Structure formats: C-alpha cells, structure tokens
C-alpha cells in the first residue's frame, strides 16, 4: 500500500460491491487506506472481494444486504457503526438493468423492479446514513448513474428512467446539504464492461451500444475515488458523452441524431467511442 494514501482510516460503504464497478471501487478505496464496507446481496461474491482486499488491507467488512429492503438496510448501517463507529463515504452503486422496448409486455414489471433497487435503494441507504454524517458534521455521498441518466437511448427507457431519477435526487440532495459539511456527487459513466448486461443478447443491445467499445471498471473506480477526494459534483466519463449532452441541451433532435450516428462504426471510430471491439467481444 502506498505511504501517501488519501482515505487512510476513512470508513467507506460501497453498495453493489460484489462485482463490476462496485468491486473495482472498493479495491481502489482500500488501496487508498480506507476501511471498506462491502454491501451486496451475494455473500459468496462479497467474501471473494474481501479476500482480495485483505491481501493488502485488513480493514474490510462484509455485510450481505438487499438495498431495496428497509429492514436489511437499517441492520447494515447498525453493523457498520458497531464495527467502525462512523461512516465517511457512501458510494451508492447497487443496481440492475434490463433492455427492452416500451411496448414490451414485461416493460412495466421490469422497470418497477429496477426502480426498487436502483432508485429507491439509493434513497433508502442515503436516508439511513445521512443522520450519521450530519452528526459527524462531514461526509461524502457519491451516487451511480449513467450517461443514459442524462440522455436516454432506445431500448433503455426503463433503465434511463431510473438513472434520470437518481440524477434528480442527487441534484436536489446536493443543494439541500449545502454548508452542512456533507458533499454530494454523481457519476455518469458511458457503457462499461461489467456483468450488468451479460444477460442481454448482442442483437438486443441498444443500437448505439453495438458500435461502442466499453470503458473499463478500473477507469470508473478511479474517477469515483478522485471525484470524492476533489468533491466533484458531477462526473461524466469519458469526455465524448459531454458532446452528446451539450448537443441534446441545444436541441433534442440534434441529440437524437448523434445517438443514431453512434450506431455507425465509422462515426463511432471518428468520435473515439469505437476502438475495434464491442461489448460481447471483450472479456473482463
């Protein structure tokens, strides 16, 4: 472990820590000296992440929790306080996704289930931890959203809705907590190579995603840790989605046009979002 660690002895709670971005971010905080609390529904997967962390940092705690269950969330927070006495950083990352058109028969059911975990899970964990941070007079909350939480993509109406909801919740919370000592941030990564979409057939992916090279979980994890450290209110990763967001702010028709163009590998390569391989061609 580096001698110059930015989160030495800080207590960091990471939800959705059993794989993907959550796992990578927990490892990154642990390398920075943090006491990491690993939260997810899968005890076995969390145990494997904890074993990896303990190779270089003994201060980690596994708490299997369904963030959509209020009782489990309260018990998780109680356990953290009993073990560490405080909570300095919360990374709300737990979530699920599905791909489908609005007219699909299971759209409403899948969207409702996703909102329970992604959106209401974020709210429940935040509300349970917020009084602790207020009593401390300090803390950092980082919420996970997505590029589609700023500009929706076709076949992602449900997921985009959840991500937009998290964006709105974060913006409101940040303003409400101004001058409280509690910093609130959100990250909007582009398509990332995680298990989140492994259940989706390549031909069912949103058309723009079929011509994108996903970014790595490690790049997102580093952005999360840096974002907390430097108190960045909003992080968009990498730079290309900022062009899309700016165009969409000028006109939704221009934004829609860019989304359509992203499905073209020539355009995607020129923009830098396609670098030779797409989602299902890359192992992780």
pLDDT of residue 268 exceeding 70, the answer is yes
What CATH number should be reported for the domain holding residue 56?
A: 3.40.50.720
Any domain includes 6: no
Least confident stretch, 13-27, 189-203, 228-242, 266-280: 189-203
Quote the radius of gyration of the chain (alpha carbons, Å): 19
Q: Looking at the domain assignment, is residue 4 inside a domain? A: no
Domain count, the chain: 1
Active-site residue identified among 159, 229, 274, 284: 159
Q: What is the pLDDT of residues 139-170, one digit of tens each?
A: 999 999 999 999 999 999 999 999 999 999 99
Instruction: Find the domain containing 222 and state its range.
Output: 11-281
Average confidence (pLDDT) over 257-264: 96
pLDDT of residue 1: 46
Q: Is residue 168 part of a domain?
A: yes
- Does the annotation count 159 as an active-site position? yes
5 inside domain: no
**Residue 1 forms part of a structural domain:** no
Asked if the structure places residue 2 within a domain, the reply is no
Q: Classify residue 158: in a domain, yes or no.
A: yes
| Residue 50 belongs to a domain | yes
Provide mean pLDDT across the span 119-132: 98
pLDDT at 193 over 60: yes
């Amino acid at each position: 472990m580096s001698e110059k660690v930015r989160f030495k002895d800080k207590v960091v709670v990471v939800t959705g820590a059993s794989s993907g971005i959550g796992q990578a971010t927990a490892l990154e905080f642990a390398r920075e000296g943090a006491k990491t609390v690993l939260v997810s529904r899968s005890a076995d997967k969390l145990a494997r992440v904890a074993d990896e962390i303990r190779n270089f940092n003994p201060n980690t705690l596994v708490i299997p929790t369904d963030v959509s269950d209020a009782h489990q969330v309260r018990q998780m927070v109680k356990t953290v306080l009993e073990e560490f006495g405080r909570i300095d950083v919360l990374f709300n990352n737990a979530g699920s996704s599905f791909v489908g058109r609005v007219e699909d028969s299971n759209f409403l059911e899948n969207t409702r289930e996703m909102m329970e975990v992604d959106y209401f899970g974020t709210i429940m964990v935040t509300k349970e931890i917020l009084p602790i941070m207020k009593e401390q007079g300090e803390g950092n909350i980082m919420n996970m959203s997505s590029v589609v939480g700023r500009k929706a993509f076709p076949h992602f109406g449900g997921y985009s809705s959840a991500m937009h909801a998290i964006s709105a919740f974060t913006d409101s919370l940040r303003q409400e907590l101004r001058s409280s000592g509690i910093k609130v941030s959100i990250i909007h990564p582009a398509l990332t190579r995680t298990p989140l979409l492994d259940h989706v057939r390549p031909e069912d992916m949103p058309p723009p995603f079929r011509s994108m090279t996903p970014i790595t979980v490690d790049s997102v994890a580093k952005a999360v840790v840096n974002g907390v450290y430097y108190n960045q209110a909003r992080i968009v990763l990498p730079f290309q989605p900022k062009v899309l967001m700016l165009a969409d702010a000028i006109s939704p028709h221009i934004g829609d046009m860019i989304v359509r163009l992203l499905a073209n590998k020539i355009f995607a390569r020129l923009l830098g979002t396609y670098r030779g391989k797409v989602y299902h061609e890359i192992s992780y």
